[in-house]
Amino acid sequence: MNTQHPASSLSRRELLKLGMAAGAATALGPAFSAQALPMPSKPNILFLMTDQQRGDCVGAAGNPAIHTPNLDRIAREGALFSNAYTCTPSCTPARTALLTGLAPWRNGMLGYGRVGEGYAIEMPSALRDAGYYTTGIGKMHWHPQRVLHGFHRTILDESSRVEHIDFLSDYRAWLFTKDPNCNPDVTGLTFNDFRSRVYALPEDYHPTYWTGETARHFIETYDRPEPFFLKVSFSRPHSPYDPPKRFMDMYSGADLPKAVVGDWEERYVPRSDDSPNIWHGDMGAEQVRQSRQGYYGNISFIDEKIGEILAALEKRGMLDNTLILFTSDHGDMLGDHHLWRKSYAYEGSANIPMIVRWPKDTLSEARGRVLDHPVEIRDILPTFMDAAGAPGSETLDGKSMLSLIADEKAPWREYIDLEHDRCYDPLNHWTAVTDGHSKFIFHCETGEEQFFDLDADPGETANRAADPAYTDRVQQWRQHMIDHLAPRGEPFVIDGKLAVRQASYLYSENYPGCKCHGKDPKLNDRRS
């Protein structure tokens, strides 16, 4: 792979090739070495993502219990965004924002349904058109399952998700070739199970192993002239919480965080149903610990495979020519506030990891930083388009995070909007706004409001919406939400006030092919 250019041929713009705005590039001029190393005309882009990983489940984010040395390394050699969120915290709407760089209203998905089949700008096609060879490995969760959205190819692990009788994921095809009599679901946990168990098959049968090995082999054998865009999408730590034994044992005596409980969630104490797929219920401290043990073990297994991917980049001499971004589609409540799974506005569900490592001698020499700007999953596509020099990102709702890496004082948004249509129950239907320091939540079915002071109360244990000491702040954040929703008109805002909406509104008018509000003629199942 020959993507190098002599140092003497590089312009200043090429040294700042990741596509910063001209003002940011000028401001950062003195930070760059006059003896810059040769750089590729465009960086490779490695996009690492997990499914359902909380933002606080990375060692570099301040969690002393979790073992993530490779993610910590990426943060140490890059930047960690501490106030990163997913706009619609369940799998398919989050992945739609990721695919399109658009907010929920503009991409059309306000809750859990099927990802639209086509948008004007999509991540793989934008990078393909910019000259990249594009490959996706692991979980995409698109419909139809083999749709490419501009990828040259995808190599899929769709867990047990099968939408058509003719579909077999590449992971399961590989597994059945390896062991024709294997039952990949023999561990016995369901797809949204709160329980955890040691993976019942050999470690090298696990989907995490397969995804990591497939990505490593891609890097070791890559020989095309184009830079690559490689998306590596692990299907864990999303339940089942089923790490191999050595990773379960890693946390057998660990002091894992206990579930956070506050003064407002008594309604969630009763178990929502008798299945293992509950969405609320006080299952006791020991069950929370067991669930977290399996969940943490899955994350550490993924981290090990990420380390092998980084090692493959280093061996090929590609690491310093590659932009690396790590994130997740949403989090997991893991019993906090007696809630399980996701789709909530609370930190365990909505806050996600966001770590960026940029190529050598570009953007900034200041590495290992923690940035507290409110960033979001829809910022990832503009970031990649910025790096690739791809046109059109100004039409998106997200913004390139490279500008913040280059200059922490660069213009940025004041807050982020979050929402989710009905999920699990009509009462789980809300909109929210946050900057990572304050959070205002409006529950659409009842009009209930919640306000959390995240600096003083990061666990969201005390609802300050009716606290006289917070009256002005609550009104300020309520107005932020009104301003955000007002362009939609009724039924979101009526006479300048937030309106109760006792009905589903799953798709906006911007959903591809949508002909009616709140109704999907081909409703997806609820296995998000």
Reduce the secondary structure of 92-133 to three states and give it as a string: HHHHHHHHHCCCHHHHCECCCCCCCCCCCCCHHHHHHHCCCE
Q: Could you tell me which residues come within 8 angstroms of residue 452 by beta carbon, excluding any fewer than 6 positions away?
A: 438, 439, 441, 460, 462, 463, 464
Q: Which residues are catalytic?
A: 91, 141
Q: How far apart are the first and last CA of the chain?
A: 39
Q: Hey, what are 6's tokens?
A: 């002599």
Contact 179, 205 (CB under 8 A): yes
For strands 79-81 and 354-357, give the pairing. antiparallel
Strongest mean pLDDT among 40-49, 93-102, 112-121: 93-102
Q: Could you read off the pLDDT of 415-458 as tens digits, one per residue?
A: 999 999 999 999 999 999 999 999 999 999 999 999 999 999 99
Greatest CA separation found in the chain?
Answer: 69
Average pLDDT over residues 485-510: 96
H/E stretch holding 214 reads helix 207-221
Contact 244, 203 (CB under 8 A): yes
Which among 188, 185, 74, 207 has a CA at the least distance from the CA of 139?
A: 207
**Residue 144, Cβ neighbours under 10 Å: how many?**
10
Please list the alpha-helical segments (H only) found in 436-487.
471-485
The Cα 96–Cα 377 span in angstroms is 10
The Cα 380–Cα 394 span in angstroms is 13
Q: Could you read off the pLDDT of 334-381 as tens digits, one per residue?
A: 999 999 999 999 999 999 999 999 999 899 999 999 999 999 999 999
H/E stretch holding 337 reads none
Contact 312, 219 (CB under 8 A): yes
The Cα 412–Cα 25 span in angstroms is 16
Which among 399, 373, 372, 371 has a CA at the least distance from the CA of 385?
A: 399
Q: Could you read off the pLDDT of 174-207 as tens digits, one per residue?
A: 999 999 999 999 999 999 999 999 999 999 999 9
pTM of structure: 0.90
DSSP 3-state of 493: strand
pLDDT value at 226 more than 90: yes
- Domains annotated for the chain, with CATH where assigned, are 7-416 (3.40.720.10), 430-498 (3.30.1120.10)
Which among 40, 42, 2, 39 has a CA at the least distance from the CA of 18?
A: 42
pLDDT value at 209 more than 90: yes
For the chain, the C-alpha Rg in angstroms (whole number) is 22
Which among 238, 214, 237 has a CA at the least distance from the CA of 153?
A: 214
Q: Could you read off the pLDDT of 252-270 as tens digits, one per residue?
A: 999 999 999 999 999 999 9
**Residue linked to tokens 């990591």:** 212
